[in-house]
C-alpha cells in the first residue's frame, strides 16, 4: 500500500519524490499561490537529472490534499498553507526558484533531492 506524501509546490520536489519513491508513496504537488507555469529553467534543471517536467503545470493546494497526506512538506508558504491538527508537517527552508536561471536552480534542485532521499529513508522501505 502506498502512503500519501505531499511535497511542496515548486515542481522539482514532487518530481524528485515521485521518481525516488519507486511507487512506495503516492506523491501530489501543489502550491498555495501557484504560478501560471513552471519556470523553464526549473524544467531544464530537472531534465539534466532525467526528470521530464515539461508537461507539468502548477496546481492549487486544497485542504483535502493536506488532510489525506501522511507528510506535508511546505516551502515557505507561511499562513497561506492550510494547517490541520494531527498532520505531520515539514517546512523546508529552500529558496524560491521563481525568476532564477539554471545555474542558480541547480543547487536548489540538489538540496531538494537530498531532503527527499532522507525523508524516504526515514519513512522506510515499506512506506
C-alpha cell read off for 93: 527552508
Q: Which domain holds residue 115?
A: 3-123
Higher local confidence (pLDDT), 121 or 24:
121
Q: Are strands 3-6 and 71-74 parallel, antiparallel or unpaired?
A: parallel
Mean pLDDT for 56-75 is: 84
Here the contacts of 114-123 (C-beta below 8 Å, separation 24 or greater) are: 116/7, 116/13, 116/16, 116/17, 116/20, 117/20, 119/5, 119/17, 119/71, 119/73, 119/90, 120/17, 120/20, 120/21, 120/24, 120/25, 123/3, 123/5, 123/24, 123/25, 123/71
pTM over 0.85: no
Give the pLDDT score at 62. Answer: 82
Give the rounded percent of residues in the chain with a pLDDT score beyond 70.
87
Q: Is the per-residue pLDDT at 33 higher than 80?
A: no
The total number of structural domains that make up the chain: 1
Q: What is the pLDDT of residue 4?
A: 45
What pLDDT digit, counting tens, does each position of 85-105 carry?
A: 888 888 899 998 888 999 999
Average pLDDT value for the chain: 82
Q: What is the CATH number of the domain that holds 86?
A: 3.40.50.2300
Q: What is the mean pLDDT of residues 42-68?
A: 87
> What mean pLDDT is predicted for residues 42-47?
94
- Write down the pLDDT at residue 126: 53
pLDDT class of 1 with cuts at 50, 70, 90: very low
Amino acid at each position: 500500500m502506498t502512503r500519501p506524501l505531499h511535497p511542496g509546490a515548486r515542481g522539482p520536489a514532487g518530481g524528485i519524490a515521485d521518481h525516488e519513491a519507486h511507487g512506495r508513496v503516492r506523491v501530489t504537488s501543489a502550491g498555495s499561490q501557484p504560478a501560471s507555469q513552471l519556470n523553464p529553467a526549473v524544467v531544464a534543471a530537472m531534465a539534466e537529472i532525467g526528470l521530464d517536467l515539461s508537461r507539468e503545470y502548477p496546481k492549487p493546494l486544497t485542504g483535502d490534499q493536506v488532510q489525506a497526506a501522511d507528510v506535508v512538506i511546505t516551502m515557505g508558504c507561511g499562513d497561506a498553507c492550510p494547517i490541520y491538527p494531527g498532520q505531520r508537517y515539514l517546512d523546508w527552508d529552500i529558496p524560491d526558484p521563481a525568476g532564477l536561471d539554471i545555474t542558480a536552480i541547480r543547487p536548489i534542485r540538489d538540496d531538494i533531492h537530498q531532503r527527499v532521499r532522507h525523508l524516504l529513508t526515514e519513512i522506510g522501505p515499506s512506506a
